[in-house]
Amino acid sequence: MTFIIGKIGKTPYIYSMKVSDKKRVYVDMDGVLCNFYKAAKQALTENPNQKYPQSQWGFFLKLEEIPGAIEGFRKLEEKYDLWILTRPSFRNVNCYTEKAQWIWDHLGFDIVEKTIMAPNKSFLKGDYLIDDMGNAGQEEFEGEWIHFKTEKFPNWETVTEYLMSKD
């Protein structure tokens, strides 16, 4: 599949990405790959008057990895077409750049190219969605919502085992 992204002067900028025949898995970022909540709590402790800690410059760049997230992501890549699907923070327009930089630093540029930022996750078509929250269309997602940090899927080990056991 080929996409024309735009033009540089009069020359079209063409980008091509092979469509995978693997099942598609979307992975949320905040609370699934990186520890948004720990950083938000710490920022609120340090500055209780800051109503939205994620609105601070550099907030998303400093997020810690969730234990097992990178290893689990890499394992699932062996079997699935993995994409990042994250909801942007509307309190920090820099989050688009900061989230992309975090992904580049922790997962590499090839995953930055497979990153989607959308306010409603039900807009996308896929087989699985790994997400810890239910406030952005997760319940309406057409595939299976793997509700991360629940009794059934408390960590990356359980998520990875579950998905690797699927046909």
Residues 6+ apart with CB under 8 A from 138: 121, 122, 129, 131, 145, 147
Give the model's pLDDT for residue 137.
74
Give the model's pLDDT for residue 9.
58
Give the model's pLDDT for residue 31.
94
Give the model's pLDDT for residue 2.
45
Give the model's pLDDT for residue 4.
46
**Domains of the chain, with CATH numbers?**
22-165 (3.40.50.1000)
What pTM value is reported for the model? 0.85
Give the model's pLDDT for residue 28.
95
CA angle 27, 16, 60 (to 5 degrees): 35
What is the rounded distance in angstroms from the CA atom of residue 112 to the CA atom of residue 109?
5
Give the model's pLDDT for residue 16.
47
User: Which residues in the chain show pLDDT less than 70?
Assistant: 1-19
Give the model's pLDDT for residue 135.
82
Q: What is the pLDDT of residues 98-143, one digit of tens each?
A: 999 999 999 999 999 999 999 888 898 999 999 998 787 788 899 9
Give the model's pLDDT for residue 18.
59
Q: Which helix (H) or strand (E) holds 159?
A: helix 156-165
Give the model's pLDDT for residue 146.
96
